[in-house]
Amino acid sequence: MPKTQKRYEDCSKSCSSAARIPLPRMQDSSPDEPRFTVANGPNGRARTPLFEQDADRTRAKSSRASQIGVLETLTPLPDVPDAGTLVAAVPVQRDRRSMSRRPGQNGRIEKRGGSFSFLFYRDVPGTTKRERVRRTLQATTMVAAKQEAQRIIDAEGVNTAAHLEASRGPIVTFGIAAELWKSQQLQANGKHSSKRTMGCELTKHVLPHLKDTAIEDITYPVIRGLVRAWKKEGLGNKSMRNLFGIVRAVYNFYLDETLQHGKTTMLPWLIKWSKVEPAADVEADAPCFTPEQMAVIVEMGRGQYRSLFAVAAGGGLRAGELFALRVEDVNLKDGVITVRRSIVEGVEGTPKNGEIRHVPIDSSVVAEIKKHLNGRKSGLVWHSNRCTPLRSNSVLKWQLKPILKKLKIKFPGRNGMHAFRHGRISYLAYSGVTFAVIREWVGHGSDAMIKHYMAKWQSNNASEMAKLQPVVRTQNNGCDGNEVALLEPVGTILQKKEVGAKVA
């Protein structure tokens, strides 16, 4: 046996097993990194690794404990990231600003040439510093300049506690407030149709203009500029009013959120739509099918879509209410449909007004539904091949549009199914049904909506015009010109006027 090996073995017998255990490298931090123990030894307090991973390390710990003395186990140290990921701690600057240290500033007035300028300091949001602001005054004398400067100080509010409190936090833009509103208010409490519609309108028409605007800076001038931008985009007054409501909802939501903490500097929403509404454009008639058109469309419907179009024409239901209709909601004996729910893009919810209503249908519509159900007692009245609710886009693309193209009827706007509803409302109104009954059947909240959707049918105007006398009467008396008689009130003589010569 070599002497070196023998010398090593003799040494190993005299050494403890703990001496031969290699210490782990402490440069890497991992979940398996050992804890530490502190013990009182001859040289003071010693901090040594505590190994708990295998039997050898456990024996080493017990051996070291018997040699050093009583162990004192400390609370595990928190995980320390690698040296490459350490980030230097930046000391937070203490905000020593307070209104008790501010007697109030009056600013400084300077005269350069023949004009006056006013300088004052304003707090910068997100920092503890202030910036100097210079404003050009319109005054021509020093006395008028001082008065104008005081008005600027009062308008800016730099001497108020609200101005100081607003600078303590970061600048909150409308885009940040809108994201909070979407995630906490709209997604949690809104209906699916509202989430889809209002979310798209916010992203498309509002955020491009107000995303980087501070929420506190939304005032009348900002809203007027926003309305002008919407006008250039070709939006109608009704669409602009809906967008205005979205902006107001975001503002009020963030105002309520900050009021809970008692640190808001925002004013209540004071902007009224009537003061920013532009002049109304000439509105086109609402899309509407006449009774004759609806009858032909139903005749050309194939399969389940024949009964679908029949109920749309005879009940005036919205498209989402039609797609959510179940067999249990149809009373074929009494001819009544109960509207309890609505489906938009496959998601079921309540009807638009949130109320259940009962809609009567005539015998011809009942016959179409009976023929379609063929004895079925449950499930959706109309569904896809996979037994899922129908979607409006599919019905329009594959069923209604081809029929309208064959009949040479212009497609009525974005939602062709709504033209059935408009036609039904117009038919009921012209047939003498009271507006109160129509509101109950179709689910409208006011008579104004009924009047808005009533179509100007020529067939109904003809019967009423037949009761009136013609305004102008033309008589030929054999002369060279046309003699026109103008109708006057009863009891007066007709006036005659020469209007032109005959063409040879």
Contact 126, 170 (CB under 8 A): yes
* Two tokens, residue 495: 């006036």
Per-residue model confidence (pLDDT) at position 31: 46
Distance separating alpha carbons of residues 435 and 336, to the nearest angstrom: 19
Instruction: Report DSSP state, residue 141.
Output: S
Token readout for 292 is 């004759």
Residues near 151 by beta carbon (within 8 Å), at least 6 away in sequence: none
Closest CA to 187 of 348, 177, 341, 179: 179
State the Rg of the chain over Cα. Answer: 41
Residues in the chain predicted with pLDDT less than 70, given as ranges, are 1-94, 169, 262-265, 283-284, 413-415, 456, 458-459, 473-504
Phi, psi of 486 (to 5 degrees): -95, 130
Residue 159 buriedness (CB in 10 A; 0-12 / 13-18 / 19+): middle
Contacts of 115 (CB under 8 A, 6+ apart): 136, 137
For residues 46 and 42, give the distance between their C-alpha atoms in angstroms, rounded to a whole number.
Answer: 9
Contact 439, 447 (CB under 8 A): yes
Distance in angstroms between the alpha carbons of the first and the last residue of the chain: 147
DSSP 8-class letter at 267: P
pLDDT score, position 494: 46
pTM above 0.75, yes or no: no
Going along 217-340, which residue ranges are E strands? 330-331, 336-339
User: Which residues, in sequence order, are CB contacts of 287 under 8 Å at separation 6+?
Assistant: 412, 413, 415, 416, 418, 419, 422
CA torsion, points 43, 47, 49, 50, in degrees to nearest 10? 100
Phi then psi for residue 498, to 5 deg, are -80, 125
Helix, strand, coil in percent for the chain, rounding step 5? 45, 15, 40
Helices (H), 181-236: 187-189, 192-201, 207-210, 220-232
Distance (Å, whole) CA 109 – CA 115? 10
CATH architecture of structural domain 291-462:
Orthogonal Bundle (1.10)
Inter-axis angle of helices 418-430 and 291-300, nearest 10: 140
Beta-carbon count within 10 A of 199 CB? 16
Strand partners, 497: 484
Residue pair 116/110 in contact (Cβ under 8 Å)? The answer is: yes
Residue 173: DSSP 8-state: B
| Helix, strand or coil, per DSSP, at residue 109 | strand
The tokens of 303 are what? 């399969």
Tell me the pLDDT tens digit for each residue of 145-168: 999 999 999 888 888 887 787 777
Task: Enumerate the CATH 1.10.443.10 domain ranges in the chain, comma separated.
Answer: 291-462
Q: What integer pLDDT is reported at residue 326 of this predicted model?
A: 97
Domain with CATH 1.10.150 in the chain: 174-275
Look at the block and give the residue holding tokens 């408009």.
422
Element (H, E) at 344: strand 342-344
Q: Count CA atoms within 13 Å of residue 365 on its CB side.
A: 22
DSSP state, residue 502: P
> 443 in the Ramachandran plot: left (φ > 0), alpha (ψ -120 to 50) or beta?
left
The reported pLDDT for the residue numbered 458 is 66
* CA distances for 446 relative to 211, 353, 430, 436, angstroms: 36, 12, 17, 9
DSSP 8-state secondary structure symbol assigned to residue 417: T
CA distance 323 to 348: 10
Second-level CATH architecture of 174-275: Orthogonal Bundle (1.10)
- pLDDT score, position 485: 54
Q: What confidence score (pLDDT) does residue 488 get?
A: 52
